[in-house]
Amino acid sequence: MTGSPLPGVCDELDLASAESGPQRTQTLQARGSALASPGEQLRLLNSLPLAGESFDAALAESGCPDLRPARLDVFQINIGRLCNMTCRHCHVDAGPDRVAENMDRETIDLCLAALDRTTAHTVDITGGAPELNPHFRPLVDQCLARGKQVMDRCNLTVLLLPRFADLPEWFAARGVEVVCSLPHYRKRNTDAQRGDGTFEKSIEALRRLNAAGYGRGDRHRRLTLVTNPGGAFLAPPQAATEREWRAGLARNHGVGFDRLIALNNMPIGRFLEWLQESGNLQAYTELLTQSFNPGAVCGLMCRSTLSVSWDGTLYDCDFNQMLDLPAQAPHERRPHIRDFDPAAWQARRIRTGRHCFGCTAGAGSS
Ligand code: SF4
């Protein structure tokens, strides 16, 4: 695998730039920030003077001493960090300049070969904006041909780029679940995180998805919204939030959705930078630690997910991927999808760190 731009990706980037989505900031990488380095992010997190124990100690106290894999249900493929947006809270540090980090065809084929050897029923395709990868549609079709459910993690605004205008119907014809980021059902809260104009574009994208049959209770056209807090606090209770959002979006904009997932922001990537710059890092990390909920441990995504990065490296989850904490592998080698061994995967010990408290705080965030 190489880090060089893929054939077609530069063209896609030019198009994305010409009709770019809203920009809240620039990527850490484009700004030359020290936090562009996963090692620097880990160093910063580990340098905080926290009164609580390590995540592993908190697990042990909860009666779950060793985080062990359960059945593998979700095969997650991060097909690139290219995005038409640069949201403030992005833990991936995705953006229009991330041209080099995009999965090539060879790695996609390796993923498909590995997928055939797993028990996973769902393929979770994420990015960046995964739709920008020229191999996105063939990958979706290949997964569906294998009888898998497919989820597309969509930033919504990408659906307004002219060459993606057919995507809602294309998804609907295939039964792809569309999982969309929408920080809030009010314009001000959403634009503050994702850039001016995001909310209007997102509502227009939701209307197009509704017109294609999404958000109307059809399990083959499921529209999931993902919300995350606009500041250094935990995600609100999910059921009440879903009711409020459903009413607000229907009343104000006439759009519907099928379910809402409320997630905590992880202290990773650009959200970590915002925490540091706003003076919230210490207090937020303490909040995550003190809000440890043993009831969230069973459902941690790392127990039932395999996460593959654009270059084929294997991780326990998307968050470990962004901190470049590869999954445990025999012989200390960096695990790669070409060497995927289902038995070794199920026998591994999941790697943890302070960031894991973000997954177990409050109602949990996996
Ligand atoms: S960050 Fe990843 S490894 Fe840690 S608890 Fe969450 S899902 Fe598991």
Question: What does the pLDDT look like over 208-227, one tens digit per residue?
Answer: 999 999 999 999 999 999 99
Q: How far is CA 127 from the centre of its chain?
A: 7
Ligand 1 atom nearest the C-alpha of 266 is 1
Any ligand 1 atom below 6 A from CB of 325: no
In the prediction, which pLDDT does 7 show?
35
In the prediction, which pLDDT does 15 show?
38
Ligand 1, atom 7: nearest CA belongs to which residue?
A: 302
Interval between CA 198 and ligand 1 midpoint (Å): 29
In the prediction, which pLDDT does 20 show?
60
Any ligand 1 atom below 6 A from CB of 320: yes
Q: Is 141's pLDDT higher than 60?
A: yes
Interval between CA 75 and ligand 1 midpoint (Å): 15
CA distance 193 to 133: 24
Any ligand 1 atom below 6 A from CB of 327: no
Mutate to test the pocket of ligand 1, among 68, 78, 302, 354 (most ligand atoms within 8 A of CB): 302
In the prediction, which pLDDT does 4 show?
33
CB atoms within 10 A of CB 332: 6
In the prediction, which pLDDT does 332 show?
66
Q: Identify whether the C-beta of residue 179 lies closer than 8 Å to the C-beta of residue 187.
A: no
Ligand 1 atom nearest the C-alpha of 67 is 8
Q: Is 75's pLDDT higher than 80?
A: yes
Helix (H, G, I), strand (E, B) or coil at 325: coil
Helix (H, G, I), strand (E, B) or coil at 67: coil
In the predicted model, what is the mean pLDDT of the chain? Answer: 90
Q: What is the mean pLDDT of residues 11-26?
A: 55
pLDDT level of residue 364 (50, 70, 90 thresholds): low
**Which residue's structure tokens are 């020290």?**
34
Q: What is the mean pLDDT of residues 75-83?
A: 97
Q: Is 269's pLDDT higher than 60?
A: yes
In the prediction, which pLDDT does 333 show?
80
pLDDT level of residue 2 (50, 70, 90 thresholds): very low
Q: Which residues contact 313 (CB under 8 A, 6 or more apart)?
A: 321, 326, 334, 335, 336, 337
> What is the edge-to-edge ordering of all strands in the sheet holding 314-315?
259-262, 223-227, 177-181, 149-154, 122-126, 74-78, 305-308, 314-315
Q: Is 362's pLDDT higher than 90?
A: no
pTM for the predicted model, two decimal places: 0.92
Ligand 1 atom nearest the C-alpha of 317 is 2
Mutate to test the pocket of ligand 1, among 319, 360, 365 (most ligand atoms within 8 A of CB): 319
